[in-house]
Structure 1
Amino acid sequence: MNSLTPLSIDGICRVEFGPGRIDRLPALIAATGHTRAFVVTDRGLRAAGVAERVLKTLDSAGIEYAVYDEVAPNPSTGNVDAGAARARAFGPAAVVALGGGSVLDAAKGISLLVGNPDAVAADADHLWDGADGLPLVAIPTTSGTGAETNGFGVIEDAAAHRKVYIGHPSVRPQVALLDPELTLGLPAAATAATGIDALVHGIESLASRGANPFSVAYATQAVTLVSRALPAAYRDGSDLDARAELMMGAHLAGQALTLSGLGLVHGIGHALTAHTGTPHGVALAAVLEEVMEFSAPAARDAYEQAGRAMRLDPPADGDWARATVAAVREISAALDIKRPLRELGADRPMLSSVAAGAVADAVTKNAPRIPETAEVLEILERTY
């Protein structure tokens, strides 16, 4: 099977993969038990015409729908509350999430709040035991977060100045519709930022304390696909084969992280984004190699798995961790994505808060080497 071969898999989440699969959307909505759709997207996709292509598919099938297109790049609790108010007013429907990770995360929150009419997004910590949300069809338009694979989203509680996890088993998408044609217009910088997120998902899943044979299988294949396809898609955004391979790799990385959890790169990334507004993938790239070097004493086997998945030649000195970090550094350089923290809006007094937030983040507990705040601060100083 090549990367453009259409694929349909039924399971906990039904996966529809391949160019042109967006035409199946009306049937997939009907499979949720609903005849109406509440579409969650962002204004960038409306302006780019991607959303209009999807809405025309619904129009052709005579499906009634409403659109909430105000999801921000780093969605906040207020953003999710506003979308939930619109969805409640529209009434029973399947939620169709069309966009990148921010849109998919916000859509999960919106779906969940509709099922819990007295709740607001700031109640995220308590909603895990709440009532079911609306069924969700996820249509990613970037290849990075793998958010279509799980039932939680990361949103910003602006009042508390922290990232919160909002989710419930019921808002794990019933359908993941992966159509690489929808990613063809993605700019190179966005391709790099979302793609590096997928690569980190694969690497951190391999090294996570929660890794198991299933997550390792997903993560290994994800690292193979993403490390090969990401530079190609960055160089030529119209390369549909590379786009398809990257989309599948990102999806498999999402499957892996859902099982294994992540680690310190994401812990720092979440804290850095909360403090500076830096795009998620750019925040990860800022500290990726440095965290890998810090983690290497406890993650040598995992980094060997990652290096072999990247098809590296066996290093002459036998140091797979060093070779894998070097290969990741080479990919970051090819994508022109790594920036010092001072260019991302972080000032030195802020670093202590970022370090504390990273250590407190739930994902950091899965890191192969659990850091002290002072150790994270040292990593941040190195990347400043």
Structure 2
Amino acid sequence: MTGPLTTSPCAGVAAGTAFLSGSGPVVDFGPGAVARIPGHLAAQGARRVLVVTDAGLRAAGVVDAVTAPVAAAGVAVEVFDAVRGNPSVEVVEQGAEHARALGLDAVLALGGGSSLDAAKGIALLAPSPGARADGSGATPAAGLPVVAVPTTAGTGAETNGFGVLEDAPEHSGTRQKVYCGDASVVPRVAVLDPELTYGLPAGATAATGVDALVHGLESLASRGRDPMSEAFAAEAVRRAWTWLPVAVADGSDPRARAEMLVAAHLAGQALTRSGLGLVHGLAHALSLHTGAIHGLALAAVLPEVVGWSLDADPAGWGRAAEAAGLPSAAALPDALGGALEAVGTRVSVADLHAGPELYAELAATALADPVSRNAPRHPTSADELVTLVSRC
């Protein structure tokens, strides 16, 4: 069978389309799942573990709460908490050198997407002194085993073996996003404990939740989608559309926190198979050039980019609309604007300090980003993309 499964505008990719789907992490989900981390590390033969996290989580006591049972189980713990938002190539290389010097044999990634992305890069580079996070240098050997513990419901970074890093001009000659990773650092276990997300403020809950939602939406319209990615993405959108407003309104709602953590993980599983699109390409560019929070950068361009690309993939966007409970793909742009407004993330590129003088740079950076290649519609020129940005 090579034709569409149905004539509905919400038709997915034909089941006859060839695809290859690899394995992902073992998932340990549930309140209190962090108590089982020592067992997961033991299964990997870990005796000396590097915890990759950020200073905020350490100051809040989250790091101690997670690592105390690990240390009690006889595992030596070293904490590297230098990760910041939009993690850099330099920080990853510093962390890898630290792990190498101490002879550590596993990585425990704890935090939001930035910490998880950095941890995967550190795990990859640690056994290979000549390798670089920007892809230069020696080809890295297999990385250290990773156990990932997300503390936000957003990136789904625990599902795959790559990280998005920032390469600063002084390091590479140009400011750009680089992708660092390998199949060997796909987390062996993803520990999804919704209790770790209870203390996340409303603004951060909204921004990270928007990321999860966009992962699902773009995966459904990606040129790289397959039947498995569609299934993961549709369920992620369904859950995030329903539960993100609840989690933002009441951060202690246990079901909302659990549903959003599952939504983010499902969306991560989807994007790992399908790739994303131009919403992420432009958001990466905004973060690079303005320092904008990733979720807000996505929100700034989401309704306009979706509206601009609807006709290029009515089936993909129709499936996204169906998952959100909307009558048609045509309803998506306005509904997305309303959803962003409801969780306090309805912003423009101007709100993120990107004026007309930056539009050409944003367009050039987005066009050069590999993530944009999976978009259902590609700009015919940089000028066309500049015009689109000016409407965001």
Query: Shorter chain as normaliser: what TM range?
Result: over 0.9
The CA distance in 2 between the partners of 1:55 and 1:370, in whole Å, is: 46
Task: Report deviation, 1:215.
Answer: 0.4
Alignment counterpart, residue 145 of structure 1, candidates 155, 163, 166: 155
Q: Is the 8 A contact 1:145 1:197 kept in 2?
A: yes
1:302 and 2:312 correspond: no
Counterpart pick for 1:193 among 207, 212, 235 = 207
Q: Does 1:246 align with 2:260?
A: yes
Range with greater deviation from structure 2 (76-85 or 232-241): 76-85
* 1:126 shift after superposition: 6.5
Are residue 280 (structure 1) and residue 294 (structure 2) matched? yes
Question: For 1:202 and 1:306, how far apart are their aligned partners in 2?
Answer: 8
Give the aligned residue type for 2:378. I
Q: Which residues of 2 match residues 22-61 of structure 1 at below 5 A?
A: 22-61=34-73
The question of 1:351 aligning with 2:365 is answered no
- The match for 2:244 among 199, 205, 230 is 230
Give the aligned length. 365
Counterpart among 97, 101, 105 of residue 85 in structure 1: 97
CA distance in 1, matches of 2:127, 2:150: 23
- 2:285 maps to 1:271: yes
Q: Deviations over 1:326-356 (max 9, x none)?
A: 2221110011112222221223211101101
- Residue of structure 1 equivalent to 2:229: 215
Distance 1:346 1:16 in 2: 41
Q: Which amino acid aligns with 1:138?
A: A
Q: Give the structure 1 partner of residue 166 of structure 2.
A: 156
**Does structure 1 residue 339 correspond to structure 2 residue 339?**
no
Q: Alpha-carbon deviation of 1:94?
A: 1.2
Q: What corresponds to 2:145 in structure 1? A: 135
Taking the aligned partners of 1:348 and 1:46, their CA distance within structure 2 comes to 40
Match of 1:3 in 2: none
Give the whole-Å Cα distance in 2 for the aligned partners of 1:232 and 1:125.
45
**Which position in structure 2 is the counterpart of 1:74?**
86
Task: Work out the CA distance in 2 between the residues paired with 1:35 and 1:252.
Answer: 31
What residue identity is the alignment partner of 1:204?
E
Letter in structure 2 aligned against 1:360 = A
Aligned CA distance change for structure 1 residues 126 and 120 (closer, same or farther; 3 Å): closer
Instruction: Looking at secondary structure, tell me which structure has more helix per residue.
Output: 1
Q: In terms of mean alpha carbon deviation, does 368-377 or 68-77 score higher?
A: 368-377
Structure 2 counterpart SS, 1:115? coil
Task: Show the counterpart of 1:18.
Answer: 30
Structure 2 stretches lacking a partner, 5+ long: 1-22
Instruction: Name the TM-score, length of structure 1 as normaliser.
Output: 0.92
Look up the match of 1:317. Answer: none
Kept in 1, the 8 Å contact 2:46–2:75? The answer is no
Distance in 2 between residues matched to 1:23 and 1:167, nearest whole Å: 28
- Tell me the residue number matched to 1:8: none
- Give the AA of the match of 1:375: E
Matches within 5 A, 1:306-325: 306-312=320-326, 314=327, 320-325=328-333
Structure 1 unmatched runs, 5+:
1-10, 315-319
* Aligned partner of 2:77 among 62, 65, 72: 65
CA contact (8 A) 1:125 1:166 kept: no
Q: Which amino acid letter does the alignment assign opposite residue 206 of structure 2?
A: A
